[in-house]
Amino acid sequence: MQQQMNRIDIEQRRSVPDAPPQERRAPRRGRRRSVLIAAALVILLVAVLAGWWATRSAPPPKYLTATLSRGEVSRAVTATGTVNPVMTIIVGSYVSGVIRDVYCDYNTRVKKGQLCARIDPRPYQAALEQAEGALARDSAQLSGARGDLARYAALVRQNLVAESTYSDQVALVHQLEGSVKLDRALVSNAKVNLGYTNIVSPVDGTVVARNITVGQTVAASFQTPTLFLIATDLTRMQVDTNVSESDIGSIRQEEPAQFTVEAFPGRTFHGAVVQVRQAPQVVQNVVTYDAVVGVSNPDFLLKPGMTATVSIITAQRSGVVRIPDQALRFSPEGLAAGKVAGAPGSAPVTAAPAPGDGQPAQVWVLRESKLVAIPIRVGIDDGAYSELVSGDLRAGDPVVIGEQLPASNAKASTFRFWRL
C-alpha cells in the first residue's frame, strides 16, 4: 500500500511542467541592477561633493599690522671688554733681599715718593762701607804718591835721581788716580743699591695690588719682581674692548658708547671711544682689535677687572620715521606664483630686493582690503627698526608684519574628506 502511494506522488511530480530558465534568472538580474544603480548614485554623490569642496572659496587670510612711529634709530657695534684704570704703575725692586717692613696695603692712597716697603739694608750698608774704606785707602796712597812725585821732580832737576825713577813715580800716581775714581764709582753704586732698599711710590695713586709680605725674599737677579700695582686715578677708567675685525672698520675715535657690568645690571654707564689700537689680538685664529672706551668714575663704582658688555654707537638718527624690521622681511604667501593668496582682486607683484643701508626695499600695506606693495628706501638699522629715508609712508601708517593663513588647504581638506 505504501509503495503505491509513493508511485502516485512521483507520477504527479513528473506530470507538472518545469519553469523556463529565463524565469529562474529574472530575480537574480533584478538584484544586480539595483546594486549597480546604488553604486552609481554613490559615485555621483562623491563626485558632486568633491567638486564642491575643491571649488569652494577659501576664507581670506588675516594680516597683522604695526603702526609707524617717530623716534631714534641707532646702529651699534656690540663687544665685550674689561674695565681697567687709565694708567697702572708696576712697582718692582732693583735689588734682592728680604722684605723687612711693609707700609702700604690694598686700597692705600699714596703720594709720590711715599715709602711703601723696605728691604733689609744691612748687606748694602756693609757694601757701602767697604767701598768707602777702599776709597779712603786709595786716596791716602794717591796723596803719598803725589808727594813722592814732587820730591822726585826736584831731584831730577838736580840730577840726583834717574829719569826712570821719576817716570815710574808718575805712572804710579796715574794708577792710584784711576783706583780712586773706581772707588768713588763703587761708593756711588753702593749708595744707589742702598737707596733701592726703600720701595717708594713713583706716582700719586691707589694701591690696587700687593704681592709681598714681611719676611719674603725678593730675587731680582733675572727679572724685576712686581711688588705693588698702583693705579694713578680711579675716577677715570677705561674699557678695553675686543672688537671683531668685521666691525672695527666702522668704529671711529670720539664715538659715543655705553656699557653695563654684572655688578650693576640696572645701570648703564656712558663713555666715548678714546683710541682704536692698530695691534691685532689673535686667539685661536680669531682676530680682534682693542677699542678703548674712556669713562668717568666719580663714585668709584667701577672696579678694575670688571667684565663689561659694550655698545659703540656708530650711527644715530633722531626724530625719524621708524619701520619695524618685521615689515621689511614680510613676504605674502603666494608671492612666488605672482598672486597674493587670499587678497581679493590683488594684482601681480614682484619680489622685493633685500633691504639695507642706502638700498631700496618694500613694505606691504592694506588699502581697501587689498595688499599693496610700497617701494621705499631705508637708512640705518638698529636690529629692531630701520630709518625711513624716502617712500609713500608717514608716521601713523600701518604696515603689514605678518599673516595668518586659513587652517585648511586643498591637501588637508581632501585628507579630512576621505576620513569622513
User: Over the stretch 186-218, which tens digit does the pLDDT of each residue have?
Assistant: 999 999 999 999 999 999 999 999 999 999 999
Judge whether 77-86+233-316 and 88-227 match in fold: no
The CATH H-level superfamily of 77-86+233-316 is Efflux pump adaptor protein, beta barrel domain (2.40.30.170)
Does 32 have pLDDT greater than 50? Answer: yes
* Model confidence pLDDT, tens digit, residues 285-310: 999 999 999 999 999 999 999 999 99
Q: Is-contact 335 311, C-beta < 8 A?
A: no
Is 123 in contact with 130 (CB distance < 8 Å)? no
Confidence of residue 415 (pLDDT cuts 50, 70, 90): very low
What are 268's three cell numbers? 648703564
Tell me if 307 sits within 8 A of 261, measured CB to CB: yes
> How do the domains of the chain map onto residue ranges?
62-71+320-412, 77-86+233-316, 88-227
In this structure, which CATH number among 3.40.640.10, 2.40.50.100, 2.60.40.3140, 3.20.20.70 belongs to the domain 88-227? 2.40.50.100
Average pLDDT over residues 224-242: 93
Cell numbers standing for residue 403: 599673516
In the chain, pLDDT over 70 holds for what percent of residues? 81
- Full-prediction pTM beyond 0.75? no
Structural contact between residues 247 and 79, judged by C-beta atoms closer than 8 angstroms? yes
Confidence of residue 22 (pLDDT cuts 50, 70, 90): low
Topology (CATH) of 62-71+320-412: 2.40.420
| Spatial distance between the Cα atoms of 272 and 255, rounded to a whole number of angstroms | 6
pLDDT tens digits for range 102-160: 999 999 999 999 999 999 999 999 999 999 999 999 999 999 988 888 888 888 788 88
Residue of 111, 334, 332 lying closest to 230 (CA atoms): 111
